[in-house]
Amino acid sequence: MSDDTPDHPQLYLISPSEFDLSVYPDQLAACLDAQNVACVRLALGTRDEDRLIRSVDALRDVTASRDVALVIETHTGLVTRLGLDGVHLTDAARSVKQARKALGEDAIVGAFCAASQHDGMTAGELGADYVAFGPCGDTALGGPAKAELDLFAWWSQMIEVPVVAEGGLTLPLIETLAPHTDFFGIGDEIWREDDPALALTRLSMVPHQP
């Protein structure tokens, strides 16, 4: 997973926490065929190993044929075993060092750091390939403080580690954040729609920044 240029962020797709294996891989394939996507995150909300393995197998067939990186949320121990490209950690900087040691230098290690500049800096120092901040907008469950524009603006000026903006994204938010982030993490924003690929295309209609 490599970043493009900060003034034209790449797309990073986040799977639903639950999905139908008979439907979702085709939806994902349609999205990858509709837009250029840098990475897909399998973010299933289950610890059932069989379910995780079957999901990885199904999604890897879709991503590998399109040369798109596939990472799994949280489950570092499955990365090498299942031939994944890396892991997305959800506990800020706490597991970054351990994951990097376990997976080696070539694997992708990403860290979600909510709206904490400090946690993001620590994750980067410990070897994270990218840091994700969010939610950037309103989410269904409400909850944590939003990652505001100022955080992304500061990060893009001061820190070289690529940054992902995710959570509650809308087209106006994407337009505002585009000059200050490397990736947009898109998930429920499109999967709740009847045509996820069309929804992704609409969210991608952000002009290049000068």
Q: Mind listing the pLDDT tens digit of every residue in the chain (210 residues)?
A: 655 444 589 999 999 999 999 999 999 999 999 999 999 999 999 999 999 999 999 999 999 999 999 999 999 999 999 999 999 999 999 999 999 999 999 999 999 999 999 999 999 999 999 999 999 998 766 667 899 999 999 999 999 999 999 999 999 999 999 999 999 999 999 999 999 999 999 999 866 544
- CA angle, 165 then 172 then 120, to 5°: 15
pLDDT of residue 210: 44
* DSSP state letters, 140-155: TT--SPP--HHHHHHH
What is the H or E stretch that residue 74 is in?
none
b/e burial code for range 106-138 (CB count within 10 A of at least 16 → b): ebbbbbbbbbbbebbbbbbebbbbbbbbbbbbe
CB 72 within 8 A of CB 101: no
Amino acid 4: pLDDT: 44
In angstroms, rounded to a whole number, what is the distance separating the alpha carbons of residues 104 and 118?
24
Question: What pLDDT does 1 receive?
Answer: 63
Q: What is the pLDDT of residue 34?
A: 97
- pTM score above 0.85: yes
Task: Return d(Cα 163, Cα 168) in angstroms, integer.
Answer: 16
User: How far is the C-alpha of 77 from the C-alpha of 90, rounded, in Å?
Assistant: 15
Q: How far apart are CA 66 and CA 12, in angstroms?
A: 14
Asked, as a colleague might, if the bond just before 135 is cis with ω within 30 of 0, I would say yes
Which domains, and CATH codes, for the chain?
10-203 (3.20.20.70)
